[in-house]
Structure 1
């Protein structure tokens, strides 16, 4: 398959730490252009596949032949950038949360379909081999905790920037039932814990029911000590999954299992979930498939249910 150019719009910490290393490691990506208000500086100079630098994302999109675009900007700007990119004929990957509302997600997936372009939300943790199909055999319950602290000056504490725990950590909860069992919840109950003075949620607890008697209990947010853990339970089986939502590329993930009273450890070799995710996106680009539409819309529907439950 021919290699494609990648245009990275925004140089977030996540983009520097995970997207750029994965992109330069893939044979399917030829060069990496960067559009950032600060021009990219030494970050671009040090890339092994350096491309052009832009200070204006519109100029970058308008001046680039149709390629693959990765959007890693403030949440509130995702829709504007993605809309412009799709209309210019680009395939697009966007950081989670892809969009602030279900209506916007539906609009832009429809636009991507009409343009014959891939639109994917970067829920890359799901591509780690720890989430192989045999992980959930006999599993009917999950307990998830994801509480990465976020300093008060970060945009995630700002409503106008698309902040809040429902958008920041919501994609992890929203996708978990889909990743484990390929289902959406049919019942969601949410209790909001901490809020900003203007009422923006910073932490929440959730209980969700899924078809077949499955349930997920979760604690998400960014006002407590860091925890990143997943417990999977079923009749006679329990599995502890460390670092499920952000396993580093060099981490051997040791699953701790108890099956019918017997303890064992199963090791999953290191893997870069972002690299695996981007490789799947490139396959979809070359083959013209649409497997990323359904996950994006499913997770947007579930996040919308979380918001509605909290209002009740």
Structure 2
């Protein structure tokens, strides 16, 4: 397969930590340019990967040698630069969430489809084989009939100036960590989930939510509880509770490539710990993106679109607590 020639719009931490090293190691991808608003930043990043340094995001989109772009910018900037990239005829891999609004997500998906361009949201855990193994256990009746799904993704508090706490940049726990358990619930219970109730909490004077929980319900009555946050002890896992047992998976959302997944299967007969082979979800995601471009097979956007609706419903319907449990503000959207 001819490598996909990709340009990077921005020098975000996730680009440096996970995406650029994976791109450099993958035969199906070639890093040809890295753009930053600051020339020194672009030069330093480009030097490490022997590629072209570009000052300014727009300039990168005008390069003929760039056929696809990766967008790791703050959430509020995704829609603008995805749109500009699509207008320039580039395929796009963008960090999650694709945009911060349902309408913009629909618009950009429609634009990409009309132009035959691949637009992919970078929800990498979906490409890890451990989840397929769990789905097989459920389908084979290992825990009987599914009764409930619980998922959580939360991380410790960040420095006060972290972009995740900026309303102007599209920060907040719901958009940052909430997408993971929501999408996990969708992958097991289907895209017809509805929001039954939700709570969002602001602490420490932040202008965005730093914690949240939501109860989702599938059409068959099975409920999913999702917990997310930016002010917690670390947690990244989910469990499926059935009529005859329970499956628990830890390190569900951001496992390193050498992590050995352990699926805990609890039944009346006892506990089984099923060890799976390590898998590289970053490389798998990039390979899926490159393969879609090479084959011309556009990705299915049903999950992305439904996810955007659920996130928006949680945001607008949630009971909002500010600072202390006694300072309750019912309903309303976050600024």
Structures share fold, TM-score greater than 0.5: yes
Indicate if the aligned counterparts of 1:177 and 1:184 stay in contact, CA closer than 8 A. no
The RMSD of aligned alpha carbons is 1.8
Indicate if the aligned counterparts of 1:165 and 1:221 stay in contact, CA closer than 8 A. yes
1:134 to 115, 119, 136: 136
* Most deviating of 126-135 and 80-89: 126-135
Separation in structure 1 between the aligned mates of residue 282 and residue 169 of structure 2, nearest angstrom: 25
Separation in structure 1 between the aligned mates of residue 104 and residue 67 of structure 2, nearest angstrom: 23
Deviations 1:254-300 (A, max 9, x none): 11111333211111221111111111111211222222422221211
Aligned pairs for 1:236-251 within 5 A: 236-251=244-259
Separation in structure 2 between the aligned mates of residue 244 and residue 214 of structure 1, nearest angstrom: 21
Indicate if the aligned counterparts of 2:33 and 2:66 stay in contact, CA closer than 8 A. no
Match of 2:114 in 1: 114
Match of 2:191 in 1: 183
Match of 2:170 in 1: 162
TM-score, normalised to structure 2's length?
0.87
* Most deviating of 133-142 and 215-224: 133-142
Match of 2:11 in 1: 11
- Correspondence 1:201 to 2:203: no
Separation in structure 1 between the aligned mates of residue 185 and residue 104 of structure 2, nearest angstrom: 22
**Where does structure 1 lack aligned partners over 5 or more consecutive residues?**
none
Across the two proteins, how many residue pairs are aligned to each other?
Answer: 310
Aligned pairs for 1:41-60 within 5 A: 41-47=43-49, 50-60=50-60
Give the match's secondary structure for 2:97.
coil
After TM superposition, give the deviation of residue 200 of structure 1 in Å: 2.1
* Most deviating of 105-114 and 63-72: 63-72
TM-score, normalised to structure 1's length?
0.93
Match of 1:144 in 2: 151
Indicate if the aligned counterparts of 2:167 and 2:207 stay in contact, CA closer than 8 A. no
Return closer, same or farther for 1:92/1:233 CA change in 2, 3 Å cut-off: same
* Most deviating of 10-19 and 38-47: 38-47
2:310 to 302, 307, 310: 302
After TM superposition, give the deviation of residue 196 of structure 1 in Å: 5.7
Match of 1:215 in 2: 223
* Most deviating of 180-189 and 91-100: 180-189
Indicate if the aligned counterparts of 1:157 and 1:163 stay in contact, CA closer than 8 A. yes
Separation in structure 2 between the aligned mates of residue 247 and residue 109 of structure 1, nearest angstrom: 29
**Where does structure 2 lack aligned partners over 5 or more consecutive residues?**
140-144, 319-330
Give the match's secondary structure for 1:40.
helix
